[in-house]
Amino acid sequence: MLRRAATTVGSACKKYDLNCTKFAKNRRTMADLQQIASNNERAEALINSIEAEISGIQQQLVERQKQELIKENAALAKEVGAALAQLVQLELRNGKKQIPVPGARGLCTSAAPVVPPAEAGSAPAAQAPKPGKDPKEKKVKEKKPAAEKPAVAPEAPIDVGRLDLRVGKIVEVGRHPDADSLYLEKIDCGEAAPRTVVSGLVKFVPLEQMQNRLVVVMCNLKPAKMRGVISEAMVMCASTPEKVEVLSPPAGAVPGDLVHCEGYPRQPDAQLNPKKKIFESCAPDLMTNGDLVACYKGAALHVPGKGNVVAQTLKNVNVK
């Protein structure tokens, strides 16, 4: 009996030890689970914070792009308006009538007013009875009045206002591949793409003085091929047979700034007609004065609000 009781007690002790071990393991497992749950909560909070930050950054980027597009659209609208106004002016100068678009404003028109049709149901006007025809009477053909030709707008006076002078920046320059005396330049004139310009300045201006400098450019010359390269503009210089200096725009000028001349409204042709020799007629009166300022008939060439166009040392010489 004692042996059996001892065996039973020993078995109960083993079960108790096993239960204690399981309990300890369960306690450790619960602590681990609580730690994992806590880690998950912190990770979730961090993820939510990062998502909120990313969302804020995305909203800022979208707003910035929106503002940039608004500015770009406004600039494009100005360019389109200026181009349209110039086109209308040129067409009026060439005698073309302007027909207004329904609902649009601002176009001049010389078209005759439209006569409204007769109202429906109104009685036709009484017609005089036709006299009897004499069989021997010869038919006389009525002469139709000649169609009136549209009045041609008078041509603008030939002066510096018809030259499209602008500020440009040389963004790339090198020797012409087929001519030792010519530079080949890319000039930013404030347009969508730089203009290609060929200049015969190698003998007068070192290459390093041409790089990245602001210049005054005439932009409405007819493009001409020079040794196989189409030149789209002309760099304006003060010039003598022995020395040539590139004219300098005023401080603060930027590519695309328009050059004006007091007393001569700026109304440049879209493209100068070589047969009319407009630039050749203006050239004798384009000169620097005693203060190095480039002038037309004594009136300074200038960028409004920024200053005059000047030479470096050449006084009282031709500009071309």
Q: 253-271: per-residue pLDDT in tens?
A: 999 999 999 999 999 999 9
Q: Domain tally for the chain?
A: 2
Q: Are residues 284 and 178 in the same domain?
A: yes
- Residue 25 is assigned to a structural domain of this protein: no
Q: Are residues 164 and 70 in the same domain?
A: no
Measure CA 276 to chain center. Answer: 30
Mean pLDDT of 171-176: 93
Choosing from 95, 112, 129, the residue where a domain stops is 95
Q: Are residues 207 and 297 in the same domain?
A: yes
Choosing from 95, 129, 147, the residue where a domain stops is 95
Q: Are residues 290 and 182 in the same domain?
A: yes
Q: Which of 3-12, 76-85, 89-98, 115-124 has the least mean pLDDT?
A: 115-124
Q: Look at 216 and 109; give whichever has higher pLDDT.
A: 216
- Residue 143 is assigned to a structural domain of this protein: no
- Residue 129 is assigned to a structural domain of this protein: no
Q: Are residues 169 and 306 in the same domain?
A: yes
Q: Determine the pLDDT at residue 102.
A: 54
- Residue 103 is assigned to a structural domain of this protein: no
Q: Determine the pLDDT at residue 167.
A: 97
- Residue 247 is assigned to a structural domain of this protein: yes
Q: Which domain holds residue 78?
A: 30-95
Mean pLDDT of 16-32: 74
Q: Are residues 62 and 172 in the same domain?
A: no
Q: Look at 35 and 220; give whichever has higher pLDDT.
A: 220
- Residue 13 is assigned to a structural domain of this protein: no
Q: Determine the pLDDT at residue 258.
A: 96
The pTM for the full model equals 0.54
- Residue 122 is assigned to a structural domain of this protein: no
Q: Which of 23-32, 46-55, 109-118, 244-253 has the least mean pLDDT?
A: 109-118
Q: Are residues 237 and 312 in the same domain?
A: yes
- Residue 183 is assigned to a structural domain of this protein: yes
Choosing from 63, 95, 127, the residue where a domain stops is 95
Domain CATH code at residue 239: 2.40.50.140
Confidence of residue 217 (pLDDT cuts 50, 70, 90): very high
On average, the pLDDT of the chain sits at 83
